Amino acid sequence: MQGKLIDGKAIAREIKEELKKDIEDLKTKGITPGLAAVLIGDDPASHIYVKNKARACRKAGIYSEVITRPAETTGDQLHDLIEELNNRSDIHGILIQSPLPKHLNELDAATDINPLKDVDGFHPVNMGYMLLGSPVYLPCTPFGIIQILNHIGVNPKGKKIVILGRGNIVGKPLAVILMQKWEMCNATVTVCHTGTADIPAETRQADILVAAMGKHGFVKAEMIKEGVVIIDVGVNRVDDPESEKGYRICGDVDFDGCIEKASKITPVPGGVGPVTIAMLLYNTVRASKFLSNKKI
């Protein structure tokens, strides 16, 4: 079983070690990459995510600033805050932690960010460049999935990839990336969603299966073929009286049921999440080079 597990933490460490060389080189030129994370409201999970991202920045040598605002923050106030960060020379990347309170529009917030500081890759301009095959920044989780496949020696070229979920953060951009004629892409991609007539019929054809639905344990052993590579993006909180915290985190895949049939599988936690953060750091360093007119 151990050989089947994809160690996202180890992959993230490798990526961050490589980044440290770039960061040290930038600092010799008087440039310290800077990331601002904006957190609106008091969602406990969001606070944990932002804390983890800030800690990863500090360890890598990136300046990190966490800006918190109350849930009552208005759209105009958020706009003004983003504009202030757009104009700061010490901030190269801006992250708006999702989800925002319901009265705030996530697309409006993403659009307010200077596209060159949009290290999440969600600005419509950056999404458009990605669709056209000339990306400035790739969204961090899809980018991380490509890095995972690269590190485990699985090239998607020519393979059948099934993505469960068509969200704007993972499903849609990942499908676009994997269809490009790039190294580590050029795959045949199927995206399944609530309108798909027979999801198991699709998943059983997958050489690589990416689960990003937000439904814990959805993918069962009978839905996959022998030797499939499974990338589980799901992060679901499930009550567990036996746990100290009273809950546990699990993915969209029935891990115990699928581990025997899969050739490789990401655990949850410890799979995709750490690599996603590593790619956020990568994009922040890239942004610092863009904004300081240094060679990418």
Tell me which residues are annotated as active site.
Answer: 53, 97, 120
Which amino acid, residue 235? Answer: V
| Complete DSSP assignment for 202-222 | HHTT-SEEEE-SS-TT-B-GG
CA–CA dist 64, 288 (Å, integer): 13
Instruction: Determine the Cα–Cα distance for residues 252 and 172; give it in Å rounded to an integer.
Output: 17
Compute the distance between CA of residue 52 and CA of residue 60 in angstroms, rounded to an integer: 12
Residues 82-100 as b or e (16 or more Cβ within 10 Å = b):
beebeeeeebbbbbbbbeb
Q: For the beta carbon of residue 261, count every other beta carbon within 10 angstroms.
A: 17
The Cα-based distances of 113 to 43, 81, 261 in angstroms read 22, 10, 44
Return phi, psi of residue 116, to 5°. -75, -15
